[in-house]
Structure 1
Amino acid sequence: MPDSSFRLITLDLDDTVWPCVPVIQAAEEVFHDWLHRHAPRLAEAHDLTSMRRHRRELMDAMPEIAHDLGQIRRRSLAMLLESFDYAVGLAEEALALFDEHRNRVEPFEDVAPVLRTLSERYRLVSLTNGTANPEATPLRGLFERSITAADAGAAKPHPALFIRALEHAGCAPSQCLHLGDDPWMDVEGARAVGMTAVWVNRYGRNWPDELAPPALTVTTLHQFLNWLDTEPQRDPR
């Protein structure tokens, strides 16, 4: 039977519930095509690689907002538009288009059915360092809340995101399971605040030697659900 002490399940989004790279690439290509039409001098001077470099430089220069990828992208684009004598207001239209395509994700096939089952038993909250909005994706309605690094004021593995989820649900860390694909940001970050952490390893990666193993490693959420249904009550790690 499922562990009755768990009330909350938090999940990372990118590369945990959907593939990240293809959707980012597609969104950036649409975004750059838009720039070719509306800010051609900028688009000709900066390809996607140089625009990413500009954002990284801005993150280094402004560490106080580096966790907020949406704000970094907005500020970077506004700066570049201004440098080529375009209206800074174009940034909002361009980024609205980017966000629309950023949310055109295709969840892994196991995700929706497992989340529907889990949502009947547990409270579900998504935690992401990115900017995706589950309510604008095929997973609409499956999370009771979605918390981003921008919301929390810090990115995983900082405890802020995890603590925000616990406060929202009124749960102690021992009552929460976190699932994510990144050993450091997800597993180690969750364990640092006292949560049980499950590693979702969809791509056959090796676990870092310097980290203690996770409570569970799965390649699909079906395996996680089976574990919940068959394992006796566990002490959180």
Structure 2
Amino acid sequence: MQIYVRPAPFQVLSFDLDDTLYDNRPAIAIAERELLQHVHQQHPQTVSWQRQDWRAQKLKVLQRNPKLAHDPSAARLEVLTQGFKHLGLGNKAFSAAKDAFDCFYFHRSNFTVETSVLTLLAELGQRYRLIGVTNGNVEAERIGLTPALELVLRAGNGLRMKPYADMFVEASQHLQINLNQVMHIGDSLGSDVAGARLAGCQATWLSPGYGRDQPEADWMANNKHPMLPQVSIQHITELRHFLSC
């Protein structure tokens, strides 16, 4: 644990989800694989398209509608719809896209947060209010986080991704607290640390992220960042020590 800026008193612990409370990579890899398999099996005319083709389609969709960059679910559905139209599904494109999205969405949240993390959250919840603030679209209830978190905010439906302040402001209004009473914990300097600090919250940087061996490349290269966290920790369980000080 390293303290960069002495924390002020706070009442709420805000957690990023992906790569902070669990390693998000395995679930995403499985979901992407199952999605592509579903698409090819259900619509043989799509077999010529591989992941790089769908990535190219995503770039086109986001160029046409940049706001979708802040809504991962809506963006994926639109990418699938436009891709299916391009591949000749015509008026069946949207229903096919919805089925494909449902396949991805199921596998994307088809795991459970480790017991050690859930135990940690239960302990912290006895002293602080706990919330989740994520740029992703994981289903908190399915992965076991709902009992621990009073509120989970996800990007989309008018709420922009971190580092924009939207979700932090929404959380403070919902909880009826000042932003500086929130300590946000996350693995990303660019979205979590900068987002929290710019919004007026405090920040704890998890570095490296959950399941990682190395910290973010930009920190390793420059050893500096325009937005310092109050605290950095190397493993999520270090919160026990930090919050007992």
When normalised by structure 1's length, the TM-score is 0.89
Task: State how many pairs are aligned.
Answer: 227
Q: Distance in 2 between matches of 1:53 and 1:111?
A: 37
Instruction: Describe the superposition over 1:173-228 as per-residue Cα deviations: whole angstroms up to 9, x where unpaired.
Output: 12110000000110011011221100011333153513253211112222112111
**Contact 1:133–1:146 under 8 Å retained in 2:** no
> What is the deviation of 1:134?
0.9
Match of 2:162 in 1: 156
Residues 163 and 181 of structure 1, relative CA distance in 2, 3 Å threshold: same
> What is the deviation of 1:152?
4.6
> What is the deviation of 1:8?
1.2
- Pick one of 24, 31, 46 that aligns with 1:27: 31
Identity %: 26
**Contact 1:125–1:145 under 8 Å retained in 2:** yes
CA RMSD in angstroms, aligned pairs only = 1.9
Match of 1:131 in 2: 137
Residues 92 and 63 of structure 1, relative CA distance in 2, 3 Å threshold: same
Q: Does 1:190 align with 2:190?
A: no
Match of 2:84 in 1: 81
**Unmatched tracts of structure 1, length 5 or more:** 231-237
Residues 31 and 151 of structure 1, relative CA distance in 2, 3 Å threshold: same
Counterpart AA for 1:172: N
When normalised by structure 2's length, the TM-score is 0.86
Match of 2:60 in 1: 57
Which structure 1 residue ranges, 4+ long, deviate > 6 Å from structure 2?
A: none
- Pick one of 122, 127, 131 that aligns with 2:128: 122
Match of 1:216 in 2: 231
**Contact 1:179–1:198 under 8 Å retained in 2:** yes
**Unmatched tracts of structure 2, length 5 or more:** 1-6
Q: Distance in 1 between matches of 2:121 and 2:8?
A: 18
Residues 225 and 151 of structure 1, relative CA distance in 2, 3 Å threshold: farther
Instruction: Describe the superposition over 1:17-57 as per-residue Cα deviations: whole angstroms up to 9, x where unpaired.
Output: 11122211100101111111111111x12112221221122
Q: Does 1:39 align with 2:43?
A: yes
Instruction: Describe the superposition over 1:139-182 as per-residue Cα deviations: whole angstroms up to 9, x where unpaired.
Output: 23221111111045211100111111111111101211000000
